[in-house]
Copies of this chain bind each other. A is one copy, B any other.
């Protein structure tokens, strides 16, 4: 890294403000110089490529249209270590899986900017004849070669790269013709890093969001998306929604206008439907309060993100229910898993099956809405009462600057995330499932929830402890991590069997 690059980064004061154009140009130059394929990036050429794509291959347009038409689109995850394997995968997901949105997941070396190791992984994969990487090394292949992926399919494509360091991958991805990009500063830093500070993670995504806004200036409506799943481990809706609101405010600050919000399913039909609606409403509420009234924020529902059962038949129920929950909740898209989830990265065929099962489930439940159910209304009110005091406190701690407020709130434990590997969080909040199948907060840590609200959570969790005949303690949370992956003989045995 050159001294020049250090200084552009140093001159960039940390705040929620939009990065000035000239400073951003410097940041970009430094960034693109970090790996040879960076030199292939040309935003004007890329913008022209995007605009020449048919609308149905542009995710920004597709998400807006799906929302208008009340559709629930399907999208899998998936990435393999070589271009050839990735081409085959994407074609399969497009055709056999009938995916509406086709993904490219990057490998973990790429996510950690360890491109040299990724290079070795490509070679190993070619030698072994199977993927030794857990995703597609996009930076190593570079935008020109990667564009072949876009050309191979007849759907819009999205980059999935779980990392706090997306600067170069996003440059390559957008330049290659990907019209969607998943990831955000708060969510991914807390789910994917140990030492990285929240500030550093937010900065990196401010870069990415500023880049998306640059395309927007050039007339390309890219779809940016926030990954609300976090650690995927029993994250209650309020915490996922808080992350969505914060990351959406940060993105809007950089000029993003097409920003999806993801929510991992809790697997409770009512809680998930409530969460999907509350997420969009609360995000819009805080965007409006911050002066943004033109940000499109569709919600994507994610198939169960916690541990899966080691039984294909059980997993089929999770896959199908994942479609049901998304459709009933009115999500604009759903991200799918497969029956291989507990074992490893799915084959293209298993992935395609997961898509089709989900699609059928969506078809079956497409008419169902629960908004008028009293229980729904109770939970909708509850989740809003959960989110607002904390979100208001975050903004207050930053004196109105959400970037600064978020860093301080994480340090203080005001904003917290369960089961995170990141050292810059308290990681004291602890969720558990209650007697009625809702995810609740067992231990709020230092998060300033309303006492009344917490009383509801505690009451429900005590009901469960009582029903299960176990103490009201931390084990409620640990057993909730395993729950969904338990064999059926533990979950619902034949009740009256002989001894």
Contacts and interface: CB of A to CB of B under 8 A. Distances in A.
A496 B62 contact: yes
A409 interface: no
Nearest to A438: B367
A321 interface: yes
Interface in A29-44: none
Given A316-B316, A365-B269, A56 B496 contact: yes
B498 A360 contact: no
A126 interface: no
Interface string A459-499: 00000000000000000000000000000110111111110
| Total copies of this chain within the assembly | 2
A356 B498 CA distance: 21
Q: Is the interface of A mostly helix, strand, loop or mixed?
A: helix
A141 to B, nearest CB: 26
A15 interface: no
Given A353-B313, A494-B155, A497-B154, A488 B367 contact: no
Interface stretch (A1-9, A220-228, A286-294, A369-377): A369-377
B360 A496 contact: no
A357 B268 contact: no
A65 interface: yes
Interface string A255-287: 000000000000111100000000000000000
B314 A356 contact: yes
Interface of A: 54-56, 62, 65-66, 69, 71, 98, 100, 154-155, 267-270, 309, 311-314, 316-321, 323-324, 328, 352-368, 370, 372-375, 436-437, 488-489, 491-498
**Cβ-closest 9 pairs across A and B:** A320-B320, A317-B360, A313-B356, A56-B496, A313-B353, A317-B361, A314-B360, A367-B437, A317-B320
